[in-house]
Structure 1
């Protein structure tokens, strides 16, 4: 019953459920009951008296006009859930929040003034008429009023009404419950001689030591030292702290990880990483402003670029207001960073994926007034991504700033994500002379196929990023053939190199479009490619003249496609190639660990001075990322083996001689023993074959070795802790499996002490021991492994 009440948010729907549940008898509520409100809501003044319809015991309140949460509460609640907060948003004051987000309210006056604006100095290539929409009901009208002019605030140029309080880079949402580890950092890491170490940290470009020096000065309230830092030095500090220099590898890896894999590996969500990084910038900028020193134009550009890289639009809009209030005139690069933030807002989180694909199902979900988290970054129509960026682009041209190649790429991407492929074609034709229709029709006219001759030193000269934009724009619009042909055409005529990320983008969307969708209507089959398309594209990009080296992600998608086609022999061949790539990565991971271990041991002999300990931060970051990739690859290898065994259900009927099932498969499983299940079963013509690859004792010994190795790694890394990002890569924490828990519980129940494999009980020397302690939830056993002792 509670699930039904949660699902049906309006008061009328709850009344209908109550009627059905009670056999048609409806209870008449008195006016006092209808206007009742809980004490916390009455104290907070969260709803008007005529709206007070709180229900005790139900997660949430009835809200406004059928909303389970009011629009402003729902926005706060979604942001908290997306960032990993445990707060369910039930008790939030409905008061006007400061303008710290693109979705904040803005005045109608300057919204009307921007409606009359158009492109100046060039032809109009953006059509905004399709973005206007009128509300169909009261709920949509209320949501329109809540979000009205939100993106107009994105291009707000009025600086006379902006005060110091408005431009203060405070993070309101971070104060509402986002846990930031930097704010509660270990005080021991800040007990350093920051005055002498800051210059060394800048010379070595050590991000963690730079942050420790500045926060140590903040902890000591040394505003004199902060004010003594020159403008050039502080600008260098912000550039060292940029996300592109520190978490770029982590962001790239998160894109290929599913939510299940993130939870399995113990990774912090990308949304949490973005908030922590924004909070770090917030504290450092406030520290500088408290010392009475204003930020330079380069500092504001660094903040805008950082907000774009981490997908944090709130940080970008506050930095933009501060830039305008300081009297700076934005350059084309500033505008690009600003528009790019609207384009990449929250796209690195777990809710991003293939939701931007232009199909009716996705478009309908992206038009809803109150978007679900997985579609929140891809709103279409009014106040959508294209609407925001097109108006910002027009405002940039009105201010006399000429667009460059990156500006056009941003506009192309925004238009493509809303299905406006005509705008993409228009930009390609007017800016670079690439006639998409003529190329796709196979025109023989030489003039129609020759692009514009642009000087190599021009800011509009194409780059390899344009190739990625073209691949992305046409792929999400279900046109892989056009994407392949245009990428090749532009690369040949402008002598550009097609990098691996562009090929990976093309192959990923080929795999997506080749997967058969459910439903028999033609709408569900829009852009559907033949099932053999991924293999055709694979053979094209890996052969001459491209000779692309595939990544593990590309191997994973190809093997999944071969599984759907039941091509078992070819699947085995590609698994062998993927295994060799994984083994190469294992060798790299072990090499990094040896270097890191040697460095830490050397620093321990020298006393672990902070300036010396900081020299291993970059090496540790590379090792942590390599370890994460190793675990991801291991996860994929296990999945491949299971997919291979699944194909034997169909393959067995064609294997009349039995040679494939009796000879090739067992030999293959022996090579994949480390990634195969303990007991393997698959079908043959005569029945079922079962192979037991390892015993329970071997499994226990292997898992204990893994835990012992993780304990050693954890102990070694504790000698050189990090201030920023220590909790982002929690995969280094050792964790016991369910089999190990059961084994230890059985030993303890029999009165035995669990001893590591190979350790004699009679020797009296127990390096590790186990204890059973009550767990935190439900009385289960909580598992924690530490150096010298394992607590189960």
Structure 2
């Protein structure tokens, strides 16, 4: 990409033989530049990505599209015409980004070029770009479900009243547009394959045309959705195809069914059809299809379902307990698909809605275990990258410029970059779940005690302190507790130390739980690295992708020497009173540098112990407003 965009190579790009240019141009694949980031940002809210300092996916898409068009203009300025392979690759790029306007422009140029004729893959790419237009970026990625309101918003798109962007309905119907392309394709004698009919099926579901979507499955693969949903014992078998047939289904069809019926709020049809196709054609259901099914079920279960389950399902909603049943079925044979971190996030939110504190904590801890696994992969990738970097530094402080051009080094950078971004996304999920645990809720806990903040809240704060900022408010049954410190939710780093945020031991953790050892966070690791390495002075695109700017500034206030860890682990067999006594007698972190307008509580630890014991004895809760410069209020003060 850098070689193509270098102005010094413009003459070389223009004078290349057609076959050589096409072969090099096709190496600029969206599978490398787009799809990995698209999949990560699908679960990354735009505002969260901005706070964490990650490049927004729209910026990535726009930059890639601009670069590709710039290369084509350089090629054409030398008098070279585009061939079919170049048009096809550009359509593939538009498809991967869900860029409908770009696909329209390329298609218009393709049809107006008398020297080329579109083939089946060109038609498929174009239809897919229209079906997924703006479905990967911005808030539009959260607006895919079909409802009367969504249908109205998509039908109102004008320059004065933009409504919702992307694919449209009614006068802007994506179904009409895709069917016109399909008819044009068949009129030229080109027969469709699996991808073709998947695009047509999704175009029908985009506008809520349920009958048409079912007819596609019935006419092509003989899948009768209505008979499957009615549990008809005489369901006709699926149509048989040779495995070499272009219509033999794959996981592409499974995902289309899960997504299509999911946005139509028909989860039973999605599950039944996916299971039937998987069994009929011996296709294993991949993880991303399960995630899609689960996400659609979660979205539909969000509204309060106060009626009986059958009424809810018949009207397009599913009960929340269905999510837990689906999780159990996925984890069992023959699927063996344990919940992903995104599933854990949705299960924790469903548990919170059901006021189940222990279930919410359980899925938060499972999500943290997924984060630990991702950190391990990131560390392995970083160690490989470090070996390459050490080999690039020659004796005397010089740099091996030839080594910078090696494919192994480029692959190591790419692998580490993706794992680093995915780790940031996983960390944001655990932060959201830790925040959810603090959201006011009348938990259904032992003895139905609603005043959970007197016992459970301090342990939650102790366990997830690294994933919480120092400044936040927490409503309780007796008032609001306000924590005021150096960090807040709007900052990149919630912790005030340089180590990775870790789950801590508390009275509520499992007996065999062990904290992760303190480890320097990668942002600060590279910040230290570039201060000592001569590579920091080299302006190279691969090194720039490794050495992200590390400047937390006001977001970071303490050094590693100031990190304090507190553990309250009762002995085995201890009663609740003994555990409370241990908590009351545990050491207290003294307040440091109280601000002028704060410092309402005395600093001496013995006074803290007295206040703590008095509150426990009286059994009261109060509203506290605390202001510190660099210390979060010890969680046990809430007692």
| TM superposition score category, shorter chain reference | 0.7 to 0.9
Equivalent residue number for residue 347 of structure 1: 135
Q: Secondary structure at the match of 2:399?
A: coil
Equivalent residue number for residue 582 of structure 1: 371
1:316-362 Cα deviation digits (max 9, x unpaired): 23332333304222111110011111112222111223322121111
Q: Structure 2 regions of 5+ residues with no counterpart?
A: 488-493, 501-519, 559-591, 597-639
How many residues were matched structurally? 526
**What is the rounded CA distance, in whole Å, between the counterparts of 2:543 and 2:393 in structure 1?**
23
1:742-766 Cα deviation digits (max 9, x unpaired): xxxx99x99xxxxxxxxxxxxxxxx
Q: Do 1:265 and 1:731's aligned partners in 2 also have CA atoms closer than 8 Å?
A: no
1:290-336 Cα deviation digits (max 9, x unpaired): 33333332222111111111222333233323333042221111100
Matched, 1:675 2:464: no
Q: Do 1:710 and 1:734's aligned partners in 2 also have CA atoms closer than 8 Å?
A: no
Equivalent residue number for residue 443 of structure 2: 650
Q: Once the 2 structures are TM-superposed, how far is the Cα of residue 630 of structure 1 from its aligned partner?
A: 1.9
Matched, 1:363 2:151: yes
Q: Do 1:568 and 1:647's aligned partners in 2 also have CA atoms closer than 8 Å?
A: no
Q: Which has the higher contact order (CA 8 A, sep 6+)?
A: 1
Q: Do 1:679 and 1:692's aligned partners in 2 also have CA atoms closer than 8 Å?
A: yes
Q: Once the 2 structures are TM-superposed, how far is the Cα of residue 712 of structure 1 from its aligned partner?
A: 3.2
Matched, 1:514 2:514: no
Cα 1:699/1:215, change in 2 over 3 Å: closer
Cα 1:655/1:733, change in 2 over 3 Å: same
Q: Do 1:249 and 1:625's aligned partners in 2 also have CA atoms closer than 8 Å?
A: yes
Equivalent residue number for residue 283 of structure 1: 70
Equivalent residue number for residue 511 of structure 2: none
Q: Once the 2 structures are TM-superposed, how far is the Cα of residue 682 of structure 1 from its aligned partner?
A: 7.8
1:587-636 Cα deviation digits (max 9, x unpaired): 11122222222212211327231563454333223222222222222222
Moved more, 256-265 or 475-484: 256-265
Q: Once the 2 structures are TM-superposed, how far is the Cα of residue 248 of structure 1 from its aligned partner?
A: 1.6
Which residue of the other structure, out of 141, 145, 167, is the alignment partner of 1:378? 167
1:108-147 alignment, distance < 5 Å = none
Q: Once the 2 structures are TM-superposed, how far is the Cα of residue 701 of structure 1 from its aligned partner?
A: 4.4
1:638-693 Cα deviation digits (max 9, x unpaired): 222232233664346835699x87777655654434224559998999x7999999
Matched, 1:243 2:243: no
Moved more, 600-609 or 504-513: 600-609
Moved more, 369-378 or 495-504: 369-378
1:515-545 Cα deviation digits (max 9, x unpaired): 016999x999951221222212112212222
1:260-275 alignment, distance < 5 Å = 260-275=47-62
**What is the rounded CA distance, in whole Å, between the counterparts of 2:240 and 2:266 in structure 1?**
27
Q: Secondary structure at the match of 1:438?
A: helix
Equivalent residue number for residue 561 of structure 1: 350
**What is the rounded CA distance, in whole Å, between the counterparts of 2:450 and 2:172 in structure 1?**
64
Matched, 1:483 2:270: yes
TM-score w.r.t. length of structure 1: 0.60
Matched, 1:626 2:419: yes
Cα 1:732/1:344, change in 2 over 3 Å: farther
Q: Once the 2 structures are TM-superposed, how far is the Cα of residue 231 of structure 1 from its aligned partner?
A: 2.9
Equivalent residue number for residue 546 of structure 1: 335
Cα 1:653/1:737, change in 2 over 3 Å: farther
Cα 1:719/1:489, change in 2 over 3 Å: farther
**What is the rounded CA distance, in whole Å, between the counterparts of 2:438 and 2:461 in structure 1?**
10
1:399-414 alignment, distance < 5 Å = 399-414=188-203
Cα 1:220/1:231, change in 2 over 3 Å: closer
Q: Secondary structure at the match of 1:340?
A: helix
**What is the rounded CA distance, in whole Å, between the counterparts of 1:308 and 1:718 in structure 2?**
37
1:306-345 alignment, distance < 5 Å = 306-324=93-111, 325-345=113-133
**What is the rounded CA distance, in whole Å, between the counterparts of 2:60 and 2:126 in structure 1?**
20
1:758-773 alignment, distance < 5 Å = none
Moved more, 541-550 or 411-420: 541-550
Cα 1:351/1:683, change in 2 over 3 Å: closer
Equivalent residue number for residue 458 of structure 1: 245
Equivalent residue number for residue 553 of structure 2: 736
Q: Secondary structure at the match of 1:505?
A: helix
1:578-727 alignment, distance < 5 Å = 578-605=367-394, 607-609=399-401, 612-613=404-405, 615=407, 616-646=409-439, 649-651=442-444, 654=447, 670-678=462-470, 700-702=496-498, 708-709=524-525, 711-712=527-528, 718=536, 723=541
Q: Do 1:563 and 1:647's aligned partners in 2 also have CA atoms closer than 8 Å?
A: no
1:449-485 Cα deviation digits (max 9, x unpaired): 3111111111111111100000111111110011001
TM-score w.r.t. length of structure 2: 0.73
**What is the rounded CA distance, in whole Å, between the counterparts of 1:523 and 1:438 in structure 2?**
21
Q: Once the 2 structures are TM-superposed, how far is the Cα of residue 253 of structure 1 from its aligned partner?
A: 1.0
Q: Superposition RMSD on alpha carbons, in Å?
A: 3.9
Q: Secondary structure at the match of 2:140?
A: coil
**What is the rounded CA distance, in whole Å, between the counterparts of 1:480 and 1:730 in structure 2?**
45
Equivalent residue number for residue 89 of structure 2: 302
**What is the rounded CA distance, in whole Å, between the counterparts of 1:524 and 1:657 in structure 2?**
32
Q: Once the 2 structures are TM-superposed, how far is the Cα of residue 488 of structure 1 from its aligned partner?
A: 0.3
Q: Do 1:514 and 1:532's aligned partners in 2 also have CA atoms closer than 8 Å?
A: no
Q: Do 1:266 and 1:731's aligned partners in 2 also have CA atoms closer than 8 Å?
A: no
Matched, 1:292 2:108: no
**What is the rounded CA distance, in whole Å, between the counterparts of 1:662 and 1:495 in structure 2?**
54
1:473-508 Cα deviation digits (max 9, x unpaired): 111111001100110000000001111111000000
Q: Do 2:217 and 2:223's aligned partners in 1 also have CA atoms closer than 8 Å?
A: yes
Equivalent residue number for residue 494 of structure 1: 281
1:42-53 alignment, distance < 5 Å = none
Cα 1:692/1:652, change in 2 over 3 Å: farther
